[in-house]
Amino acid sequence: GDHDPGLSPHVEQVNSLREIQALRRLNPHPNILTLHEVVFDRKSGSLALICELMDMNIYELIRGRRRPLSEKKIMRYMYQLCKALDHMHRNGVFHRDVKPENILIKQDVLKLGDFGSCRSVYSRPPYTEYISTRWYRAPECLLTDGFYTSKMDLWSAGCVFYEIASLQPLFPGASELDQISKIHDVIGTPAPKTLTKFKQDSTYTLLIF
């Protein structure tokens, strides 16, 4: 995944360890990227994860495409993505960064990769660090201070579904506020009960609603 170059090596290693633990816990599964080995370079202090080679990611598959994918292919890919998420969530892990770049394919096989942002469902919210690419981020991630669950992965999967079917991103927000605005334009205002919950879990109240 893309790691912030500003992070200290220690933080970097801890993140990598979380990724390794998740991959080990989730392997083997036909729709989770296979981790072959972990190489630690003592000299540079860097960790390398050696994973199986796939053909491309979903972003590369759809970028610049003129003709849509067949419905059969879209169904096959989405079924496999849902199988991967179901397997993860049953094993107590949520991904937190499901997006086309992190979904790998090899012919008709789809595998979820890049577990650098994943969390255990047993760790307690609020979760603090920045997660998930904005366009695929669920409203509860945008509107609360880290109060979200594994359901956020399903939101992201829905955004991916729209994108592989239409070849266009569903909510391409230019900023956090624009992101919320784009979701709001399509889905409408959340129910008062939902808004109240968002307000409880947030240090600021959004003026957009």
* Active site residue ranges: 97
The label of the residue with tokens 């998930």 reads 132
In the chain, which ranges are continuous DSSP H helix?
9-26, 58-62, 71-90, 139-143, 151-166, 176-187, 192-200
User: Rounded to an integer, what distance in angstroms lies between the CA atom of residue 116 and that of residue 2?
Assistant: 9
User: Rounded to an integer, what distance in angstroms lies between the CA atom of residue 149 and that of residue 92?
Assistant: 11
Q: Classify 58 as helix, strand or coil.
A: helix
Q: What angle do CA 100, 88, 32 make, to 5 degrees?
A: 55
